[in-house]
Structure 1
Amino acid sequence: MGQVRAVLTRVWAGRPTSVRASASRAWPVLVNLVRMTVGGVLAYLITLVVTDGPIDLTGSLTALLVMQASATGSMRMALVRVGAVVTGVGVALLVSIFVGLTWWSLAVVIFSSLLLARTFRLGNQALETPISGMLILAAAGQEIAAEVRLTTTTLVGAVIGIALPLLWPPAIPVPSASGAVRRVAAGLAAAFRDASVQVDERPVTRDSVEGHLDAVRAVTGDIGRASDEVSRVRDIWRWNTRAIGRADVGPLLQTGLESLQACAAAARALFIAMLREAPEEASADAFSDDVRSAYAVVLADLGECIDAFGRLVEAETQGEQAQLHEVLDENIELLRETRAILTELMLAEVDDTEQWLLRGSILRAVDEILQVLDARTRARNHDRWRSTQGDRPLPGATTASELVPLDRVLRWPGVARWPGRRRATGQVTPPPAPGPAPRG
């Protein structure tokens, strides 16, 4: 079972590890699928009302394309993608009115759409222009569409695709992004903890240091995924009605991730310096037993500090950071103490220039991490961020990722009468009021 979990972790980094985590990550995806489905069906129903005769699905098709464009992030990107869709639709409409679907009209639509996308500098969204045009051209070739029908249904789809994301905005993936940042910290912490155990149990060799360095480098993938998640939060936040009146936690996630990136860079520098000086065989250890024991404690403390910092960043997006600030501050103080002990032991055993370089590189890397993770500095930055946000509440998990707030669902009369409902919400049924004392 442990091997299966290891394989799953390697194949699917950041996978949910509990039923609750799986549900919290699957729910926003399901809600977005429902949004897209509702948009397509709604465009079809409106097409039935505004047109006569046989009905095609051009309106639903356009609505899906435009909704996909409008729900991805900032208004600027949305306008670019909507422009790509409308350009392709316009080209297809002109061709279908006079020609219909043939091999050479298809070639004209593709070439003209790509040319216009290049002219309008649509960039990465350029391919959506010919794709939209091809789909509209195919619909026009079904002996259903006249130019009025195509124009009407296309406009219906475009209006639905633009209006629905404003009325029913996409979920803001704050929990997913904070969890991704948390996984970066957990990966770095695990690398330091494993290194601590090996340094404490056996002499430092080149092979063991290479393993530690590979573990730190493996976190790079987690950093990239976390960066993508944070970027999604900041993009979707703009022009999203869910974000109205809510505090923007994007800067908290961004600065937290940048701090962890700095820690990862310092960790790589630390193990690279060790790799340069580490002996090939265990018999020629670069550290004495006392230094190795103190160094192992420092590595373990580094792991604890980084892990506490990751939990702190995640808690800041939930308004639960007060206790974790204290935890991080205590871990930092312990790390400073063990770092001072390690420094004294290293200085007492320096014999040559190579040892000076190795020990200086280790201590410098520890100092860099201490400076980056300073709890008091993080608290000041958080207070400064809070002052820019005023009294706006945080975008909790309910606001960020649920179509209907869970607490509202649980207040519905039918749900409130479910067996075990009070026990599930932590409410205790009060005992019945005592009746009158028996007579006689």
Structure 2
Amino acid sequence: MVKLRREWGTAGAQLAKWRREPVVLQSVRSAAAATIAYVVALRISPESAPLTAPLTALLVVQVTLYATLTTGVRRVNSVVAGVVVAIAFSVLVGLTWWSLALLILASLAVGHLVRVSEFVPEVAISAMLVLGVTRVGDTAWARVLETVIGAVVGLGCNLLFAPPVWVGAAGESIEDLARRVRQLMLRMGEEAAGRTPVAHATARLHEARRLDHDIIEVDAALKQAEDSLRLNPRVREGLLHRVVLRTGLDTLEICTVVLRVLARSLTDLAKAREPEPLFEPQTGAAVERLLGEVGDAVVSFAVLVTTDVSISAQSAESRLADQLTTAAATRDKLAALLLEEVQRDARQWQLHGAVLTEVNRILDELDTEHRSRRLLEELDRCTREQRERRPRVTRLRRQLRVPRALRRNRNRPTASRRST
């Protein structure tokens, strides 16, 4: 009985995990939307097999509501533009080999003019299908009708069944990247405390370079989360969430770049000092302790960036501040030890100074004041871009705020008379 409960629990957890997967969610939504669009088109469209409607719904339905809206509009524009071009060619020249070539060129040009982005080939495809099936406008406009049906059904599926907010998945990706950075720092610290072969130092350098591919994957997850926050009625402060996650990933990306430079400095130091250790025993122990503390601070920074609850965010910020203070004290101790070591042997003083400088850069990027200043700058930039991109909406908001200001001004004299 206990074993059966465990199996059911494992199966339930696996099912919940599959439900959160974008691929599974996309497949279910697309199949449902395509089926519904086909059923609706059978009742409305004059065609016997209106396959354009499910095809459009299949292409329109996306994982996020923002992507569905933008894709649906471009999809409908591309099909309508292709149909209009096909009707014009059917009236003027008909279907010949040279008119087909002109049709394709004209359709591609019109696709770029109407700005349908990745659906530019769809303009030419729609024009060729319509011109090849018939030279009369009835079937052409039936294709437009089916396209509109598919787009409306696809949009309705995402409106009725609201897509999830993918902030949690993006946050897990950011935290996972931070933990990988920490593990690499720990290995680099352990090797710096002892006799480090050049091959081991080179392997750590290659690991640091491979972090660039991890950042690309995290960036893709973050873009999906940003799209899920746009036009989502369940999110009140979508801009703030997007800016917090984006600036957090930018900081981690800078830290990985500096870590790659640090790994290169340790590799050059291993080549220069082989077969001797990289540092003296006491200095190597300080380097190991410092890299461990900096790695812990990187993970705490990622937790702070991905935490929504205010109480948890405050505890994460205080923990990060304590870790940065501890790491700064260890760095000062390491600086004194490196100065003594350089005074005894100044052959690799440039590399010793580079190690200290790169650690300082990581600590500076993780600093809470630096993060707050960066957040304010990014929020100001995003709001300014929104005002410049949508001047009419900004003007309307200002006009709606005027009556409130007038009401406040009218109430001020009354309050002043009461006070006197």
Following superposition, the deviation at residue 117 of structure 1 comes to 2.0
Cα separation, 2, equivalents of 1:270 and 1:44: 59
- Does residue 355 of the first structure (1) align with residue 322 of the second (2)? no
Would you say how many aligned residue pairs link Structure 1 and Structure 2? 368
Per-residue CA deviations over 1:276-334 (Å, capped at 9, x if unaligned) read 33336743334211111111111221221112222222224897323322322222122
- Does residue 54 of the first structure (1) align with residue 45 of the second (2)? no
Per-residue CA deviations over 1:110-169 (Å, capped at 9, x if unaligned) read 44432322344544442343345566678x47xxx8445434333333433445444444
**Structure 1 counterpart of 2:303:** 311
Among candidates 254, 259, 266, match of residue 267 of structure 1: 259
Among candidates 177, 182, 190, match of residue 175 of structure 2: 182
**Structure 2 counterpart of 1:400:** none
* Structure 2: gaps spanning 5 or more residues: 1-11, 381-420
Normalization by structure 2: what TM-score? Answer: 0.72
Choose 274-283 or 376-385, whichever is displaced more. 376-385
- Does residue 41 of the first structure (1) align with residue 35 of the second (2)? yes
**Amino acid paired to 1:363:** L
Matches within 5 A, 1:113-262: 113-133=107-127, 140=133, 146-147=139-140, 149-200=142-193, 202-243=194-235, 248-262=240-254
Aligned partner of residue 279 in structure 2, secondary structure: coil
Cα separation, 1, equivalents of 2:208 and 2:102: 52
Cα separation, 1, equivalents of 2:15 and 2:175: 14
Per-residue CA deviations over 1:256-288 (Å, capped at 9, x if unaligned) read 011111211221222222333333674333421
**Structure 1 residues 45, 88: CA separation in 2 closer, same or farther (over 3 Å shift)?**
same
Normalization by structure 1: what TM-score? Answer: 0.69
Aligned partner of residue 278 in structure 1, secondary structure: helix
Cα separation, 2, equivalents of 1:23 and 1:95: 52
Aligned partner of residue 67 in structure 2, secondary structure: coil
- Does residue 335 of the first structure (1) align with residue 330 of the second (2)? no
**Structure 1 residues 349, 62: CA separation in 2 closer, same or farther (over 3 Å shift)?**
closer
Cα separation, 1, equivalents of 2:322 and 2:81: 59
Give the share of equivalent positions with the same residue, in percent: 28
**Structure 1 residues 385, 70: CA separation in 2 closer, same or farther (over 3 Å shift)?**
closer
**Structure 1 residues 136, 42: CA separation in 2 closer, same or farther (over 3 Å shift)?**
farther
Aligned partner of residue 271 in structure 2, secondary structure: coil
Choose 246-255 or 109-118, whichever is displaced more. 109-118
Aligned partner of residue 350 in structure 1, secondary structure: helix
Aligned partner of residue 239 in structure 1, secondary structure: coil
Q: Is the CA contact 2:190–2:288 (under 8 Å) kept in the aligned structure 1?
A: yes
**Amino acid paired to 2:255:** C
Q: Is the CA contact 1:70–1:78 (under 8 Å) kept in the aligned structure 2?
A: no
**Structure 2 counterpart of 1:429:** none
Following superposition, the deviation at residue 193 of structure 1 comes to 0.9
Per-residue CA deviations over 1:50-106 (Å, capped at 9, x if unaligned) read 345734222222333344599563966764454334333544566689999998886
Aligned partner of residue 54 in structure 1, secondary structure: coil
Following superposition, the deviation at residue 240 of structure 1 comes to 3.4
Following superposition, the deviation at residue 221 of structure 1 comes to 0.8
Cα separation, 1, equivalents of 2:206 and 2:362: 19
Q: Is the CA contact 2:240–2:379 (under 8 Å) kept in the aligned structure 1?
A: no
Cα separation, 1, equivalents of 2:270 and 2:262: 12
Cα separation, 1, equivalents of 2:119 and 2:140: 27
Aligned partner of residue 127 in structure 1, secondary structure: helix
Q: Is the CA contact 1:97–1:147 (under 8 Å) kept in the aligned structure 2?
A: no
Aligned partner of residue 367 in structure 1, secondary structure: helix
Q: Is the CA contact 1:196–1:300 (under 8 Å) kept in the aligned structure 2?
A: yes
Per-residue CA deviations over 1:159-208 (Å, capped at 9, x if unaligned) read 334454444444332122112212221221111011122222x3234323
**Structure 1 residues 316, 353: CA separation in 2 closer, same or farther (over 3 Å shift)?**
farther
**Structure 2 counterpart of 1:322:** 314
Q: Is the CA contact 2:243–2:379 (under 8 Å) kept in the aligned structure 1?
A: no
**Structure 1 residues 155, 123: CA separation in 2 closer, same or farther (over 3 Å shift)?**
closer
Q: Is the CA contact 2:78–2:120 (under 8 Å) kept in the aligned structure 1?
A: yes
